[in-house]
Structure 1
Amino acid sequence: MNVEQARFNMIEQQIRPWDVLDARVLELLAVVRREEFVPPAHRALAFADLELPLKPGEAAVVAGQVMLPPRVEARMLQDLQVAKHEKVLEVGAGSGFMAALLGHRAQRVLSLEIDTELAATARANLQRAGVLNVEVRQQDAAHADLSADGPFDVIVLSGSVADVPETLLDLLKPGGRLMGIVGDEPVMRATLVQHAGNGMIVTQPWDCNAPRLLHFPEPERFRF
């Protein structure tokens, strides 16, 4: 496989057609080596428009332990407009790839990962890639007290939730943004929440399904 050609094709055939037109994001995707964050068993699919399992077996997919497709990560990064002076919280480190992208754009990134093995993998991947302003912490974000770490300019949910968690909105600075994929299959929506100082502005710019982040509240389901 010609890796650089595959990377070029990913950017031009998947990402740009998905309305990712910010030159800074496209240049970053050409620089951060996605294949180095993909498990060896799936490296040949590093640039495919797929969710890639981060652990062997079907259990990883069921548990949502996957890398999101490149176009989804790129669109989230573009919509959040992360700046160099900003502090970022990511929920769901996975392999560390999204944290690496955020690290190149932000001043500091705290990335939480509930799975101990994945947290260790993400740390190793980030260190090998020379991304030194990201801290990966093994922690359940749904039940973590992050008041000492916040507030944050940007919060990224690298997975889906039924509703935007109020506990995370409370960690946003005025002017801050939170983005996640919200709703239930078959239709979920990328949801951008902006802290306007006197309230929250919510937009849902595009549709996308993604695996659940664990332990965040689920609405009551009607039962007969």
Structure 2
Amino acid sequence: MTLSPEDTMQFLLMLRNKGVADHVLQAMEKVPRDMFVEGHFKAHAMDDMALPIDAGQTISQPSIVAKMTEALDVGPRDKVLEIGTGSGYQAAILSQLARRVYSLERHRQLSIKARKRIEALKLRNVVITTADGSYGMPDQAPFDRIILTAAAEDPPANLLEQLRMGGIMVLPVGQSDAVQSLIKVEKTPDGLNYTELAEVRFVPLVAGVAKTDGV
């Protein structure tokens, strides 16, 4: 299935009507969401809904991706860490706004597919690694921005340590079997500032590399 320009226009109009900022819309326009879903789910690629992907994971609904991207407030000189690559869709959008994006995924099968999509789009500022995202990437720290696409009970302290002063972290927090809150954390000399953005539902943040991938 090939999406038409009309499909894309309707998709962007839907997001605009939800209040998505112009710079985020422009980034999302450059990343065709249908490339990041497979099979009969492609027919719903431009709908505002989460969709299943491999390894029991999901690609988030576009309006949530947009909200998280906007809250992250990424600049062209920023180095971003993403925990939970999934399909690679969020990393691809961030690549349009950031200097470099490092993305960690615990499922090797997802990493491989996401990397192929990133390469197909010729996005050369994205590095995808199969790794335990709960550890972050201390060797590349500090990061200007950190985003988690899996829910933690609290903002992980070790990831906050990898966030530079003045940096921003966006993540869902809460129990995996309940409604979670999407929050923005700003690291300031006076401490951490928290802003609650929306109620969401994400898969839980799980430590370790998935053994089902033969690791």
Structural RMSD (CA): 1.7
Q: Which residue of 1 aligns with 2:199?
A: 207
How does 1:5-44 map onto structure 2 within 5 Å? 5-13=6-14, 15-20=15-20, 22-44=21-43
Q: Which residue of 1 aligns with 2:211?
A: none
Q: Deviations over 1:72-100 (max 9, x none)?
A: 00111111110000000000101111101
Q: Which residue of 2 aligns with 1:54?
A: 53
Instruction: Find the aligned partners of 1:214 and 1:19 in 2 and give their Cα distance.
Output: 32
1:2 Cα deviation after fit? 4.9
How does 1:45-194 map onto structure 2 within 5 Å? 45-55=44-54, 60-61=55-56, 65-142=57-134, 144=135, 146-184=137-175, 185-194=177-186
In the superposition, the TM-score normalised over structure 2's length comes to 0.90
Provide the secondary structure at the position in 1 that maps to 2:190.
Answer: coil
Q: Which residue of 1 aligns with 2:212?
A: none
Q: Which residue of 2 aligns with 1:221?
A: none
* Structure 2 unaligned spans of 5+: 209-215
In the superposition, the TM-score normalised over structure 1's length comes to 0.86
The list of structure 1 runs, each at least 4 consecutive aligned residues, that deviate by more than 3 angstroms after superposition, is none
Pair 1:120–1:197, CA change in 2 (3 A): same
Identity %: 30
Provide the secondary structure at the position in 2 that maps to 1:124.
Answer: helix
| Contact preservation (8 Å) 1:54, 1:95 | yes
